[in-house]
């Protein structure tokens, strides 16, 4: 006699299998982990790219700051050692080379023969040279060069025209007007009085100049007219 088969002994196809459930759960977890790893991989590449960008920006900023601090030179306000003229000589030597090699290449360039005797002319050419260096530095925008050609150079040429047309080396000989000392700022003794007024009582009328100051200013005007 055949023993009937227990219908519960065989797995019901519609019943969940614990092993299958575990495998399915692991598969889902693995897929989620794979997606997270993929996302993190992309994030790592992005972070690396941002790091490189920050490094380049830092290098560019440092280079620009260095170029600016090294390049900006004022002849009228330069901190020169009177015991060692080598610094001043280096400034003029570099400037003279640029004047000959670049500035005077333009046919409309104005420059008096006595340009080295004119501190204001040296000052104009110094900043024009430095603007030219900035315009042609690595990474500079083409608009910087355009501004140099369209605005800066013509402006300097226009201002130097009067000096170039009216002065020469002979005008710097002893006894000539250009050989005299530079003018000094008038009424310097009024600095403390004006400073005190402006600091504490600027809403009131300014202090009246003294008779001595008026006399000194009048004499300075007369000397200037004779020059």
Please give the C-alpha separations between residue 95 and each of 108, 122, 125, in angstroms, as whole numbers. 19, 9, 8
What angle (nearest 5°) sits at the alpha carbon of residue 203, between those of residues 202 and 208?
60
**Under a CB-based contact definition with an 8 Å cutoff, are residues 112 and 164 in contact?**
yes
Phi (first) and psi of residue 110, to 5 degrees: -110, 135
* Interval 157-194: pLDDT, tens: 999 998 888 999 999 998 887 777 777 777 888 899 99
Report the alpha-carbon distance of residue 149 to residue 143 in Å, rounded: 10
Q: How far apart are the first and last CA of the chain?
A: 146
**Under a CB-based contact definition with an 8 Å cutoff, are residues 176 and 170 in contact?**
yes
**Under a CB-based contact definition with an 8 Å cutoff, are residues 163 and 118 in contact?**
yes
Per the structure block, which two tokens stand in for 97?
A: 């080379």
The whole-number pLDDT of residue 69 equals 45
Least confident interval from 106-110, 138-142, 217-221: 217-221
- pTM (two decimals): 0.60
| Average per-residue pLDDT for the chain | 79
Report the alpha-carbon distance of residue 44 to residue 192 in Å, rounded: 63
- Counting every residue written for the chain, the total comes to 227
Per the structure block, which two tokens stand in for 107?
A: 């046919």
Report the alpha-carbon distance of residue 89 to residue 116 in Å, rounded: 11
Look at residues 190, 227, 224 and name the one whose alpha carbon lies nearest to residue 210.
190
> Using the 8-state DSSP alphabet, how is residue 139 labeled?
T
Per-residue pLDDT for 202 more than 60?
yes
* Interval 18-47: pLDDT, tens: 665 666 677 777 788 777 767 666 666 665
């Amino acid at each position: 006699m055949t023993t009937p088969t227990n219908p519960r002994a065989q797995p019901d196809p519609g019943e969940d299998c614990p092993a299958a459930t575990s495998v399915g759960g692991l598969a889902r977890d693995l897929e989620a982990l794979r997606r997270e790893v993929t996302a993190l991989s992309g994030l790592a590449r992005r972070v690396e790219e941002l790091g490189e960008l920050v490094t380049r920006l830092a290098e560019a900023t440092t280079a620009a700051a260095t170029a600016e601090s090294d390049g900006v030179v004022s002849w009228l306000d330069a901190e020169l050692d009177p015991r060692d003229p080598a610094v001043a000589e280096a400034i003029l030597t570099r400037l003279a080379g640029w004047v000959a090699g670049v500035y005077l290449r333009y046919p409309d360039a104005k420059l008096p023969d006595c340009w080295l005797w004119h501190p204001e002319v040296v000052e104009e050419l110094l900043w024009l040279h430095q603007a030219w260096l900035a315009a042609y530095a690595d990474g500079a925008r083409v608009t910087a060069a355009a501004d140099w050609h369209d605005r800066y150079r013509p402006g300097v040429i226009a201002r130097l025209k009067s000096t170039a047309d009216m002065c020469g080396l002979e005008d710097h000989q002893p006894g000539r007007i250009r050989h005299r000392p530079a003018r000094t700022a008038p009424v310097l003794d009024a600095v403390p009085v004006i400073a005190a007024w402006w600091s504490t009582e600027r809403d009131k009328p300014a202090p009246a100049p003294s008779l001595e100051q008026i006399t000194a200013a009048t004499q300075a005007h007369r000397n200037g007219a004779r020059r």
